[in-house]
């Protein structure tokens, strides 16, 4: 299962997969960080679809996910999930981050998609501690891969070298157990 997980350091917008995951906010109207990069590179059609979803269901709750086209990106779809903003760890942040990965996999399953790239959800503007976020992400991704044989590839795309190092070390430790 772990051999399906690939740690890549780079820009998530440049990689061709069935779906890239966006670390969005509850408004779905775009923001900074990876959200800004995805809308910039993908073009206005992504925001148009986000607006339609927003009109229909009023945005997206923390831990949940919605799917749109990927516009001009090399990926086919964007899955927008909303990570928790870190407060002190006592406000359900770990469970909510875990829920983001579950929600994204549920959409992959529903839509019959087999490859996906995740950014390091919540670890930028939302300030979730990087090591904890990586442990939650890799543990949940490995468990979901074990349940879903149709997914052939999961990229974890780290923009920052520090995150790439954390993920590589964690994945190596998981391989040895």
Binding region for ligand ADP (CB under 6 A): 11-13, 23, 33-35, 37, 83, 119-126, 157, 159-160, 163
Q: Using CA of residue 85, residue 134, residue 158, residue 150, what is the dihedral sign? A: negative
Closest CB to ligand ADP among 53 and 125? 125
Q: Contact, 68 vs 77, CB < 8 A? A: yes
Catalytic residue among 11, 18, 35, 98: 35
Q: For tokens 């490995």, what's the residue? A: 142
Task: Write out the two tokens for 54.
Answer: 């927003």
Task: Write out the two tokens for 139.
Answer: 């543990």
CB atoms within 10 A of CB 65: 23
Active site residue 11: no
What is the crossing angle of helices 130-147 and 161-175, to 10°? 50
Closest CB to ligand ADP among 75 and 107? 75
Q: Minimum Å distance from CB 68 to ligand ADP?
A: 17
Q: Minimum Å distance from CB 133 to ligand ADP?
A: 9
Q: Contact, 48 vs 59, CB < 8 A? A: no
Closest CB to ligand ADP among 34 and 66? 34
Q: Minimum Å distance from CB 72 to ligand ADP?
A: 15
Q: Minimum Å distance from CB 13 to ligand ADP?
A: 5
Closest CB to ligand ADP among 37 and 154? 37
Which residues are known catalytic residues? 35
């Amino acid at each position: 299962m772990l051999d399906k997980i690939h740690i890549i350091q780079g820009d998530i917008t440049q990689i061709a997969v069935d779906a890239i995951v966006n670390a969005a906010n509850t408004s779905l109207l775009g923001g900074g960080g990876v959200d800004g990069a995805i809308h910039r590179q993908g073009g206005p059609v992504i925001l148009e679809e986000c607006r339609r979803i927003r009109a229909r269901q009023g945005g997206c709750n923390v831990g949940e996910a919605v799917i749109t086209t990927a516009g001009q990106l090399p990926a086919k779809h964007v899955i927008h999930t909303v990570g928790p903003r870190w407060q002190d760890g006592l406000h359900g942040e770990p469970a909510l981050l875990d829920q983001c990965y579950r929600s994204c996999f549920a959409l992959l399953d529903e839509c019959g998609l087999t490859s996906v790239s995740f950014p390091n959800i919540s670890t930028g503007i939302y300030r979730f501690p990087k090591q904890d976020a990586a442990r939650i992400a890799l543990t949940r991704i490995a468990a979901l891969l074990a349940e879903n044989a149709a997914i052939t590839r999961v990229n974890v795309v780290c923009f920052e070298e520090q995150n790439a190092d954390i993920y590589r070390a964690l994945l190596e430790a998981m391989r040895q157990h």
